[in-house]
């Protein structure tokens, strides 16, 4: 159906290695504006989705993961228990040659039209247990609405070192709606201090995240700076300009304001050996007492640095500003040693793990400047994202505990409500027991199946349709009466009410096969617990039957025959009505969204005001049909929506 975003085909299966090779096609394009979603590079959640949707009804994976489990967040957090690794081994036609590309492509007997032109990629996917892939064989193919979900991608043994971004150990609101401007851990990690620009200073004991003390610093400060005295439980507070806002210090142990020598810089390394000023011009200034500052430009272009952090061993300084990138510098020389490119649309905040193995970055996702901020945990050694999560509108501050037990984030919404999220370091290393509790025992290890020959692609089998046999089957029995159709609709209504209505969401597909010259539709989607899904296949209906307002979404109406039927205002969403003979049918104001009407005869049909959103009209005969005011979303120009459709004399077509 035209709702599909991608198509997938199994190329080979190797149970002994727990691996399968998949080819993924992009099957939806916005041709008018030349945009499309390419197959992902390595997203584990996307490939988990492909495995789950094909195993949902009869595979072990479908027994341990139910439709109630599935949403983007669940997939992002749990895909790693099922998919161990994804390697993209080939990419083709990315970007595409737009000549001859259509908006929609539909799966037909395991293939897609003009496959050799489609954007596509090949992957080797390794699962954690061969049972998650045992239902697949070479040549299996299907369309899918699954899309990348930015799933966690952890390496072996890495989980204990990754912050849990989804489950805050504590959420604090120290100043109500007033946002925290700065955060700083004491060197031993025992305390966390936070301040506002209105003079508020709060200190938390990190052992239980209880408030230790709260003071009001006189007059506040513009763009306040917060820094602990090295090796002491004394935190200093001052503004950007020391002459306007002199330093004040608070001794946490004594619970009193004290006088201490001025702490230079906006940020310092653990011992205080390196101190930097930033935020008022391009680059960084390394400062030390009365010595002249040592200026470092960071990049060849002027970059105003807005956030920095040092590793615990003082060997690296990470810096970012009003850009997408993060720079790793040697603080002893100022030399840029590494660049982490395109980590956010704009980096708002950053923190580095004490051992320098991971970088935490806050800001809008790289592909959007307008979405809520997400936190990304990036492996320094390979620049790959281990985990990510959206916490709120803005993530303004990040601080990684020097004892590596938590990451702390300041989160604000549009109203500037300020929250402090404490994110414990350590993700689960073992899957939930239920993922293995109810699946059958491991079968004897099968041999690897030979790879499916990917070329040439199988030919369309539509030429095997036998129109005369279809008509003969439809006319073999007595025509269905309105009363009989009412009974079918009532059974169908119970089917919808007890679970079949879930088909309106993700996960339903129709596949039409040609068997002995006849079309046979196979439904793959949610089933109702009561009633019967309406199946009126290769049957005739009395001429002129009044079926106004009939509710038959997701029904099988393959190859039905009837003239001058009145289906105005009918609900036929997602129904398969391929190869039907319905001349002069009234579908006025009917909802045919995502229905499949391919190869059907709708000559002279009244489709005024009908919803044809995403409807498959490939090779449909709409001669003399009236489509005035029909919703043809996606019908940009000829050839991108009505593929092979006959429109001679049709009215209301928007081109």
pLDDT in tens, 508-545: 666 676 666 677 777 777 777 787 888 888 889 999 99
Task: Answer whether residue 406 shows pLDDT above 80.
Answer: yes
Tokens representing residue 239 in the block: 């503004």
Q: With a cut of 90, say whether residue 343 has pLDDT above it.
A: yes
Q: In this predicted structure, what is the pLDDT of residue 460?
A: 37
- Give the angle subtended at the CA of 621 by the CAs of 617 and 623, to the nearest 5°: 125
> Residue 2's pLDDT band (boundaries 50, 70, 90)?
very low
DSSP letter for each residue of 301-333: S--BEEEEEE-TTSS-EEEEESSS-EEEE-TTT
- Of 82-91, 271-280, 410-419, 614-623, which range is least confident? 410-419
Q: Rounded CA gap, 510 and 596, in Å?
A: 9
Q: Would you state the pLDDT for residue 241? A: 67
Token look-up 């923190």 returns 351
Q: Decide: 47 and 80 in contact? Cβ < 8 Å.
A: no
The pLDDT confidence band at residue 637, using thresholds 50, 70 and 90, is: very low
Which of 38-52, 280-294, 317-331 bottoms out in mean pLDDT, i.e. has the lowest?
A: 280-294
Percent of the chain topping pLDDT 70? 85
| Averaged pLDDT, 598-606 | 90
Give the chain's end-to-end CA distance (angstroms, integer).
Answer: 23
Most confident option among 58-72, 319-333, 360-374, 503-517: 319-333
Pairwise pLDDT comparison (56 vs 508), residue with the higher score: 56
User: Which residue carries 């930097």 as its tokens?
Assistant: 276
Q: 524: Cβ–Cβ under 8 A, 6 or more apart, which residues?
A: 57, 142, 508, 509, 510, 511
The average confidence (pLDDT) of the chain is: 85
pLDDT of residue 412: 83
Q: Is the confidence at residue 160, as pLDDT, over 90?
A: yes
Q: Is 538 helix (H, G, I), strand (E, B) or coil?
A: coil
Round to whole Å and give the CA distance between 139 and 134.
14
Question: What residue segments make up the domains of the chain, in order of their start?
Answer: 6-153, 463-655
pLDDT of the residue at 278 = 85
What is the tens place of the pLDDT at every residue in 186-217? 999 999 999 887 888 999 999 999 999 999 87
Q: Please check the confidence at residue 469 and state whether its pLDDT lies above 90.
A: no
Q: Give the pLDDT of residue 568.
A: 92
Q: Is the pLDDT of residue 434 over 50?
A: yes
pLDDT at 238: 85
Beta bridge partners of 8: 24, 142
Listed residue (92, 85, 99) closest to 42, CA to CA: 85
pLDDT at 222 over 70: no
- Predicted confidence band at 243 (pLDDT cuts at 50, 70, 90)? low
Section 394-409 average pLDDT = 94
Q: Confirm if 461 and 524 have CB atoms less than 8 A apart.
A: no
User: Looking at 143-157, 300-314, 339-353, 375-389, which range is the least confident one?
Assistant: 300-314
Q: How much is the average pLDDT of 248-264?
A: 92
Mean pLDDT to the nearest integer, 479-504? 80
pLDDT at 461 over 50: no
3-state helix, strand, coil in the chain (%, to 5): 10, 30, 55
């Amino acid at each position: 159906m035209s709702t599909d975003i991608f198509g997938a085909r199994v190329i080979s299966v190797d149970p002994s290695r727990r691996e399968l090779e998949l080819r993924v096609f992009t099957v939806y394009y916005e041709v008018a504006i030349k945009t499309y979603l390419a197959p992902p590079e390595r997203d584990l959640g996307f490939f988990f989705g492909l495995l789950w949707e094909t195993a949902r009804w009869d595979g072990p994976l479908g027994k341990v993961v139910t439709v109630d489990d599935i949403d983007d967040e669940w997939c992002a957090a749990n895909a790693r228990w099922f998919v161990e690794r994804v390697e993209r081994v080939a990419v083709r036609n990315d970007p595409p040659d737009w000549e001859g590309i259509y908006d929609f492509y539909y799966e037909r007997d395991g293939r897609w039209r003009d496959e050799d032109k489609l954007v596509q990629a090949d992957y080797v996917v390794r699962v954690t247990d061969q049972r998650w892939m045992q239902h697949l064989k070479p040549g299996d193919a299907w369309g899918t609405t699954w899309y990348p979900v930015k799933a966690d991608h952890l390496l072996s043994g890495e989980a204990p070192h990754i912050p849990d971004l989804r489950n805050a150990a504590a959420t604090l609101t120290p100043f109500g709606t007033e946002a925290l401007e700065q955060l700083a851990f004491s060197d031993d990690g025992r305390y966390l201090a936070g301040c506002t620009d209105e003079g508020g200073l709060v200190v938390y004991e990190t052992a239980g995240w209880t408030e230790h003390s709260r003071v009001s610093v006189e007059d506040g400060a513009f763009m306040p700076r917060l820094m602990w005295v090295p090796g002491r439980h004394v935190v200093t507070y001052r503004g950007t300009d020391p002459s306007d806002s002199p330093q004040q210090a608070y001794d946490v142990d004594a619970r009193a304001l004290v006088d201490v020598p001025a702490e230079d810089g906006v940020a310092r390394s653990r011992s205080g050996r390196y101190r930097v000023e930033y935020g008022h011009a391009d680059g960084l200034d390394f400062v030390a007492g009365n010595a002249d500052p040592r200026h470092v430009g960071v990049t060849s272009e002027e970059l105003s640095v807005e956030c920095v952090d040092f590793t615990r061993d003082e060997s690296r300084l990470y810096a970012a500003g009003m850009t997408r990138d993060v720079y790793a510098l040697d603080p002893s020389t100022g030399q840029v040693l590494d660049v982490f490119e395109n980590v956010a649309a704009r980096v708002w905040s950053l923190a580095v793990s004490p051992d320098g193995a991971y970088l935490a970055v806050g800001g809008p996702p790289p592909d959007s400047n307008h979405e809520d901020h997400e936190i990304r945990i990036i492996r320094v050694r390979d620049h790959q994202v281990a985990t990510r999560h959206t916490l709120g509108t803005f993530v303004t501050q990040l601080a990684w505990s020097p004892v590596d037990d938590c990451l702390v984030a300041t989160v604000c919404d549009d109203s500037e409500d300020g929250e402090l999220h404490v994110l414990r370091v350590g993700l689960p290393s073992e899957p939930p027991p239920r993922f293995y509790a109810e699946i059958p025992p491991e079968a004897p290890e099968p041999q690897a199946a030979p790879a499916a020959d990917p070329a040439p692609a199988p030919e369309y089998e539509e030429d095997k349709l036998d129109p005369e046999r279809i008509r003969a089957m439809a006319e073999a029995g007595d025509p269905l009466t309105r009363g009989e159709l009412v009974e079918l609709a009532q059974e169908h209504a119970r089917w919808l009410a007890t679970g079949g209505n879930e088909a309106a969401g993700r996960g339903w597909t129709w596949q039409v096969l040609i068997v002995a010259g006849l079309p046979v539709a196979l439904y793959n989607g949610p089933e109702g617990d009561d009633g019967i899904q309406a199946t009126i296949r290769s049957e005739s209906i009395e001429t002129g039957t009044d079926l106004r307002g009939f509710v038959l979404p997701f029904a099988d109406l393959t190859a039905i025959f009837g003239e001058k039927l009145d289906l105005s205002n009918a609900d036929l969403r997602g129904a398969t009505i391929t190869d039907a003979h319905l001349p002069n049918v009234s579908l006025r104001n009917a909802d045919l969204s995502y229905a499949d009407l391919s190869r059907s005869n709708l000559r002279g049909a009244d489709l005024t005001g009908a919803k044809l959103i995403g409807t498959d009209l490939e090779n449909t005969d709409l001669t003399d049909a009236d489509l005035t005011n029909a919703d043809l979303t996606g019908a940009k120009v000829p050839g991108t929506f009505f593929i092979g459709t006959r429109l001679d004399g049709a009215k209301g077509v928007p081109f």
